[in-house]
Structures are given as C-alpha cells and as structure tokens.
Amino acid sequence: MTGGGRLLYTGRMECRLCGAVTAPFIAAPRPYAECPSCGYLQLDEACLPSPERERSRYLLHRNDPADPGYRGWMQRFIDSAVLPWARPGGRALDYGSGPEPLMTRLLADRGFAARAWDPYFAPDQSWREGGWDLVVMHEVAEHLAFPGRAFRELAPLLAPGAAVCVRTRFPPADRAAFASWWYREDITHVGFFPKRSLELAWSALGFSALWDDGIDSVTFGERSGERRG
C-alpha cells in the first residue's frame, strides 16, 4: 500500500510459479492474483516485503527447538512425509532452514547426512553442487517470491531417485474464506499453493506426487527418465 492507503498494482501479472497470465483480486488490505492455469495464488509483486523486513520477521518466529510440541509437529512430518519415501542415510538438504535449523538436526538424528541452507541464516552456496537424495521444504514454499524459479534451480541438483518433501498450508478454495484466512496474515507469506499447483509444478520437472495428507504436505519422487532441468 502507498502512504495514502491506496493499493499498489504492478499491472499485468504473470504467475510466478508457471508463467501464465493471472487474474487479479483483492483480499483486503492486499492485492493478489490467481493463476487460472495452475491455481497458484500470489501477492502482488509491489507488496513483497524487502529482504530487511523479511529477515526481521523471521527472527520473531517462535520456533523453539526445546518446545516438545514444536519438535513433535516436525517429527510427525518426518515420519509420514520423509521416512517412507527417502533413501535411508542419504544426503538431505533442509532448504530454507530459518534461524533455528531444527529440521536439519532431526534428519541427522534419523541417519541422514543433513545440512541446512537459508539465504539469511545459512547462506553458504555450496549446496548448489548438488547430489541431494532428499530435499525438505518445511514451511518454506509460501515464503518464496519466485517459487517456479526456485523449483527449477533445485531439480537438476537432485540425485536419481531423490524425494522432495514440501509442507505449506493449502489455501481455501472459497474467496471469502481466503480473505479471512489466518495463514496469509504473515507478511512473509507471499504465495499459496493448492495441492494441484505443487503437483503441476513438480510434474513439469519430472516428478510425481507419492503421498499427501490433504492439508499441508506433499512428497514427490522422480519419474524414471523424465527429469527436466
């Protein structure tokens, strides 16, 4: 928004997931666009937070590694979305780990050779050397300003037979429900994925959905011989 409270628009918007032309709408107080092709919902680019504001917001997250409820929530994700599908003992990337890389530690406890990457808190770029058997994007995809670009960068870095495990809350289909949805209140949540959006994006890269819980989690595996990157 401008200082006078007027909504900002970038005009014609392309879907930042698939590149199709989007249809704008308002979910007060912010402008969004929906992709008629893949279903992705994105915040208008003019309203994306600055890197400084984004980092400051992440430091306010109350993700206490010592909190048994928080640890249990992440462990249940690992038990259902990761362990049945990932190569035991493989190289695992905690993509977008945040300031407290609990996921990295929990994966290491389960026998994975795990490391964290985060643009603000673990910025070492050597993860781009690739060879990952597992990538976990736990409560990360909704923060990606350009998720299509991020997914395309990741796909060639995955080893044959790799698993990609994504957790991000699926948005309500009803527009009024989306307008009152608590999950979009975080200023760093800039894009929202119906399950089919994730499926279409990863399918274009040669991966198929292996499992989902219908709420916020999907696991993808490579289709033999169909990797694109």
Residue ranges in the chain assigned as alpha helix (H): 51-58, 68-77, 102-109, 147-154, 175-179, 195-203
Each residue of 102-156: pLDDT tens digit?
Answer: 999 999 999 999 999 999 999 999 999 999 999 999 999 999 999 999 999 999 9
Does residue 6 have a pLDDT over 60? Answer: no
CA dist., res. 158 & res. 77, Å (int): 21
Q: What percent of the chain has pLDDT over 90?
A: 86
Q: Position of tokens 């003992």?
A: 89
Looking at domain 23-222, its CATH superfamily turns out to be: Vaccinia Virus protein VP39 (3.40.50.150)
Higher confidence at residue 13 or residue 8? 13
Does residue 96 have a pLDDT over 50? Answer: yes
- pLDDT of 226 reads 63
Report the predicted TM-score, pTM, of the whole model to 2 decimal places.
Answer: 0.92
Residues 200 and 38 sit within 8 Å (Cβ to Cβ): yes
Each residue of 97-114: pLDDT tens digit?
Answer: 999 899 999 999 999 999
- pLDDT of 7 reads 46
Does residue 62 have a pLDDT over 80? Answer: no
- pLDDT of 2 reads 33
Residues 141 and 191 sit within 8 Å (Cβ to Cβ): yes
> Which residues sit opposite 26 in a β-bridge?
31
Task: Read off the pLDDT of each residue in 157-165 and give the average, rounded to a whole number.
Answer: 97
CA dist., res. 13 & res. 21, Å (int): 6
Does residue 53 have a pLDDT over 70? Answer: yes
- pLDDT of 13 reads 84
Does residue 200 have a pLDDT over 60? Answer: yes
